Amino acid sequence: MPSASYPDRVNVVIPLFNDWEALTMLLERIRQTVDTPLRDRLAFLIVDDCSSTDFVPLPAHVGQSLAVLRLYRNLGHQKAIALGLSYLADQPDQHPTIVMDSDGEDQPEDMIKLVEESLRKPGHIVFAHRAKRHESLMFRTFYSVYKNVFRLLTGKVITFGNFSLIPAGLLRKLAHVTEIWNNYPGGIIRSRLPYTAVPIERGRRLAGESKMNFVSLIMHGLSAVSVLMDTTSVRIALFCVMMAGVSFLGIGVVV
């Protein structure tokens, strides 16, 4: 893609909790794999979610700029993302914004795919649809259960996570969507802001161990369902009515 097609600046929000080693490797990988015309337009905002490990020096001269927004309390991944977006939305100039994790599972070479899809579909938030994952069999099983339960309770299909691109014109609108503080992708679904998805394979963690376990996955799933609680409540009520009807019919047949 010609460099003239790229925006003058692309913000990159990266929430982080203790993953300094992985972040360092991620930035180096961005330096090595992202084409220069796009890389030189990247402006990084690292949202440090009150890390308990010491800050480490980060690679210099990767993109236009790099800033660290320090939180004085650990709020969790989703709220850290929401705070980062709110911070950028409060700036006088608005730019397209990529949200990605610090562990490297959101691969730098795929950033261009989000940008290209955004140019093809202007005015849409672009998510990375997870075409393939590399986690353990147990995690993938639980994740599949989570997606199916989410669809059953909400009537919505969710096949994406945080890795996404927000067009400049939607950033301030999204920053006022309170549901993203509980669950970023779920909040966007609830907001009815236009979105699309592009198939992208999930990478492998660059360093350290994942903090996502069964309990945290359950909590993540509940937070996603909570932002669509009105729909969920109606579907549960309808299910209860249907089951009650079936029960009465069964009693009638027996009698």
Q: Is the pLDDT of residue 33 over 70?
A: yes
Paired with 67 in beta bridges are 45
Q: Closest by alpha carbon to 186, among 223, 137, 133, 149? A: 223
CB 113 within 8 A of CB 127: no
Q: Give the pLDDT confidence score for residue 190 in this predicted structure.
A: 86
Mean pLDDT of 91-109: 96
Residue 232 tokens read as 């969920």
Q: Closest by alpha carbon to 195, among 124, 111, 129? A: 124
Determine how many CB atoms are found less than 10 A away from the CB of residue 207. Answer: 15
Q: Give the pLDDT confidence score for residue 161 in this predicted structure.
A: 85
Q: Give how far the C-alpha of residue 98 lies from the chain's centroid of Cα atoms, to the nearest Å.
A: 10
The CATH number assigned to the domain holding 240 equals 3.90.550.10
Q: Give the pLDDT confidence score for residue 54 in this predicted structure.
A: 81
φ and ψ at residue 152, rounded to 5 degrees: -65, -40
pLDDT in tens, 70-86: 999 999 999 999 999 99
In degrees, to the nearest 5, what angle opens at C-alpha 45 toward C-alphas 42 and 50? 155
Q: Is the pLDDT of residue 106 over 70?
A: yes
Domain around 122: 3-254
Structural domain total, the chain: 1
Region at 130 (left for phi over 0; alpha for psi -120 to 50; beta for the rest): beta
pTM listed for this prediction: 0.81
Q: Give the pLDDT confidence score for residue 42 in this predicted structure.
A: 98
Q: Give the pLDDT confidence score for residue 205 in this predicted structure.
A: 84
Residue 186 tokens read as 């779920």
CB 43 within 8 A of CB 65: yes
